[in-house]
Amino acid sequence: MKFGIFDHVDQSGAPLADLYENRLRLAEVYDRAGFYCYHIAEHHGTPLGAAGSPSVFLAAVAQRTKRLRFGPLVYVLSTTHPLRIFEEICMLDQLSRGRLEVGIGRGTSPYEMSYFGVDIGESLKIYTEAYEVILRALKSTRLNFEGEHFHFKDVPVVLDSYQKPHPPIWYGLSSPDAVPWVAQNGINIVCNGPSAPVRAITDRYRSLWQSMPHPPGTALPMLGLGRHLMVADSHAEAFSTGKRAFKVWYDNLQHLWRAQGKPLTRYPIPEDFQAAVDAGIVIVGTPGEVIAGLEREIEVSGANYVLTRYAYGDLSFEESSRSLSLFVQEVMPHFADR
């Protein structure tokens, strides 16, 4: 069982310079502790995300870590030119000597897309073309592409990725209907929300994967499950601290939607903290309670990778560090041989 980190890099009220530095300090801990990968989100015009240019922040992560893999989850391909994304992928992968993991998506917020002049009705077409352009550029020395939104004719490709043919690809998944495409292409996935519906996705992925031919030694891609954590010396402390920070994070999540008078109502993570805990989406408590909670969520979901969160909402660096330290010292070893 491998553990990773997911981070919105959401604003906490602290000065931005301090926010960035504290996230980088935590990344150094993730690196030393043996976490697999540090995944960050891309958002714009909202306190939900202070890493609107993921590559800029990840370049700093590359220099502050030695083993930790890292990457965007996701690059929003509908709002950024694919040639620029291709070049940033190559640069980050080379700077880190092959530690980049690339998440791709079209984006989900119509408000954020509108800031870039993108209509959400066109975003899927733009995303699909952009992804094909990036993959072609990663596999060629001349880029040719003719689409509805992008046109390239004999564009020289002078950069390449460190990992061949390209870094691992990640995709967020919420329905079993999308499984065939990701399984056929060997793409890693991440799911949020309750574990029971996730099981339908992981079961279908495994079934399709096992039915396809693979070179000897090819490992099953990562089937990830995202979970907020708060680990403390007592359940009461973990619950109260987690509840306070979770509310700030959720307010950031809803910020743009509420500003438009259309708050999210179908998000897979409930706004009520107790409901989120009861559903196993947020796991709080002592190390023993967190172990039990993770065992349950892994078993029910069928995930083979858990993306944990230690920095969210208004958690101070000290609060995040304490929760992380307890997890590393007392929870992680329990899953070492799983």
Structural domains in the chain, sorted by start: 2-73+173-335 (3.20.20.30)
Encode pLDDT of 225-244 as tens digits.
999 999 999 999 999 999 99
Q: What pLDDT shows up at residue 14?
A: 95
This prediction's pTM = 0.97
| pLDDT mean across residues, the chain | 97
> Rounded mean pLDDT of 170-197?
95
Q: pLDDT tens, 285-306?
A: 999 999 999 999 999 999 999 9
Four-residue CA torsion sign, 97, 67, 164, 226: negative
For residue 323, the model assigns a pLDDT of 98
pLDDT tens-place string over residues 308-325:
999 999 999 999 999 999
The percentage of the chain sitting over the pLDDT mark of 70, rounded to a whole number, equals 100
**Residue 35: its pLDDT value, please?**
98
Calculate mean pLDDT across residues 111-135. 97
Summarize pLDDT for 27-40 with one digit per residue, the tens.
Answer: 999 999 999 999 99
Using only C-alpha atoms, what is the Rg of the chain?
Answer: 20
Q: At what angle do helices 317-326 and 235-259 cross, to 10 degrees?
A: 130
Mean pLDDT along residues 109-119: 96
Residue 338 has a pLDDT of: 73
pLDDT at 20: 98
Residue 22: pLDDT over 90: yes
24, pLDDT greater than 90: yes
